[in-house]
Chains A and B, each alone.
Chain A
């Protein structure tokens, strides 16, 4: 290595750089100590200490927290639906819808206290609706049962009563006692009719929320005026129909959905360490198979970045570096198009909220890949610093994908999902044939489409 004919400039700098004297800096050692603390295996950050795994756990925690929140969500969501209908339905001729909402809150409390929700759900689903015990079409204050009538459950001493104005509008008023001013509710053969003559109103939607022995407790009613009694066929729901409406949660059961998704990607070789995060961006299609199951596919452009010791790379068909010496470490970066086919199982649903498990296989197309090699000791003369390829290659079902997710419907059309996932390799990936594990969390916005109703 030594050379002759060194000019004076060279000699000057050779000589000048010999007289070093750096005082030890405690801060520098602390930086090194911090790095050393992170190291557990081969100089790489262990998988379970990586930020990727932390994000994965955080997303998992969000989903689990949402699951634990399920009972409360269930109640809140039903209340939302009632309030939304009361405030937006143009057919509702109630002058003071706020009061209706206020009464809904009263009912809400009563419902929570009732704590018979599950019992009600199962009873309604099985169609076990109590039959009328009485032919009396008047509201019986002493016996608050539904017997072919309806009432607003007078919980907390609050109830509402209706008044029919001269203009045919219904005004609801709160009162502390249900003992006075309770309107009469008549029931025709099929419909609940309120009032008389031209001032008739009919209940066209009721939402039962609790079923006790021989009684249905109502969260609220929706009432519209009838300009004449002959128009009452329109949108009038019988009790049976109302039960069907409750049973049918198709309001948030899209036939198929289109979504765009983004996720950080934390890839690691052999669950030993990771380098730095990559990204995942793509489009997803979800086809509903039933209320519980759906099929999802799509295309996700993935940037995987990962590090591993050199012997974890098994390049080429021979499983080795061929004529090249094995490096001490290698860093890989590749762009892949993932094509997952997964089955989704909705294990829980409450109105706007869904929780699901998903699993399937992912095929992938390798767009390009690049590897940088590090030689700690003396670099062999024929060693390569890097290897890269722009050639594409495809691997069918090279990964198993597993995830758990939470979906929230912002509206019927739009929903978003949080879905922590893990991809487990079935085959070696890329030129290095590495066992590449990936974790992350998909954040997806979905546009939902529904089968048109007859």
Chain B
């Protein structure tokens, strides 16, 4: 039941499925060994999600710490709004996210999907707010390019 949910979180932070399973198992280990700390009056899913995100961040820190050192310059690129036509699978969307570098991917996931603020992300990853913003901007820029490539310009129309 929680396998699919857990995988959906971990896969977005991973390079591939194997890495996602590794993070998921690490997360479940923490769930099992810390069940006594779980507040039964609260829903389980957010707690599991939180643990999995922490595990993903730990995994990112352990394996890809160097990516945190990437440029902190603010993106000055023109904001482009796209009209995206549906017709793309979940698997393809995940693969697009996985094409991002670990630093960009982590910030993108935390900011866009999980909904954290840049200040929170900076604190979680041990980076500056500027770096967080920069990584997000570059992640989005890369995703646009990936999307353009995917739809071969026919499906993405610049407003």
Chain A interface residues toward B at CB < 8 A: 1-3, 6-10, 12-14, 16-17, 19-25, 28-29, 31-32, 35-36, 39, 42-43, 328, 374-379, 381, 385-386
* Contact of A35 with B29 in the complex, beta carbons under 8 Å: yes
| 4 further interface pairs, Cβ-Cβ under 8 Å (given A8-B81, A43-B34) | A1-B117, A12-B84, A13-B97, A14-B112
Residue of B4, B50, B83, B117 touching A22 (CB-CB under 8 A):
B4
Chain B contact residues (Cβ within 8 angstroms of A): what range? 35 or more
Contact digits for B1-30, partner A, Cβ 8 Å, 1 yes 0 no = 001110110011000000001001100111
- The interface residues of chain A lying within 8 Å CB-to-CB of B34 are 43, 328, 376-377
Given contacts A2-B115, A21-B90, A22-B4, contact A9 B54 (CB under 8 A): no
- Shortest B8–chain A CB gap in Å is 4
* Contact of B29 with A36 in the complex, beta carbons under 8 Å: yes
- The interface residues of chain B lying within 8 Å CB-to-CB of A12 are 82, 84
Q: What separation, in Å, do the CA atoms of A24 and B4 have in the docked complex?
A: 7
Q: Is B51 an interface residue (CB 8 A)?
A: yes
- The interface residues of chain A lying within 8 Å CB-to-CB of B112 are 6, 10, 13-14
Residue of B4, B28, B140 touching A21 (CB-CB under 8 A):
B4
* Contact of B8 with A8 in the complex, beta carbons under 8 Å: no
Q: What separation, in Å, do the CA atoms of A160 and B11 have in the docked complex?
A: 82
Q: What separation, in Å, do the CA atoms of A386 and B83 have in the docked complex?
A: 43
Contact digits for B64-89, partner A, Cβ 8 Å, 1 yes 0 no = 00000000000000010111100010
Given contacts A1-B114, A28-B24, A375-B54, contact A17 B93 (CB under 8 A): yes
Q: Is B33 an interface residue (CB 8 A)?
A: yes
* Contact of A31 with B21 in the complex, beta carbons under 8 Å: yes
Q: Is B63 an interface residue (CB 8 A)?
A: no
Q: What separation, in Å, do the CA atoms of A366 and B84 have in the docked complex?
A: 58
- The interface residues of chain B lying within 8 Å CB-to-CB of A6 are 112
- The interface residues of chain B lying within 8 Å CB-to-CB of A20 are 4-5, 7-8, 11, 90
- The interface residues of chain B lying within 8 Å CB-to-CB of A39 are 29, 32-33
Q: What separation, in Å, do the CA atoms of A31 and B93 have in the docked complex?
A: 27
Contact digits for B22-55, partner A, Cβ 8 Å, 1 yes 0 no = 0011001110111001000000000100110010
* Contact of A28 with B3 in the complex, beta carbons under 8 Å: yes
B96 and chain A: residue at smallest CB distance: A13
* Contact of A28 with B8 in the complex, beta carbons under 8 Å: no
- Shortest A330–chain B CB gap in Å is 12
- The interface residues of chain B lying within 8 Å CB-to-CB of A28 are 3, 21, 24-25
Query: Of residues A6, A32, A39, A379, which shows the largest number of chain B Cβ atoms within 10 Å of its Cβ?
Result: A32
Given contacts A377-B50, A378-B50, contact A7 B79 (CB under 8 A): yes
Given contacts A13-B97, A13-B143, A378-B50, contact A22 B7 (CB under 8 A): yes
11 A-B residue pairings within 8 Å (CB atoms): A7-B79, A8-B82, A9-B143, A12-B84, A13-B113, A17-B12, A20-B5, A20-B90, A375-B54, A377-B51, A385-B126
* Contact of B24 with A14 in the complex, beta carbons under 8 Å: no
A2 and chain B: residue at smallest CB distance: B115
* Contact of A16 with B93 in the complex, beta carbons under 8 Å: yes
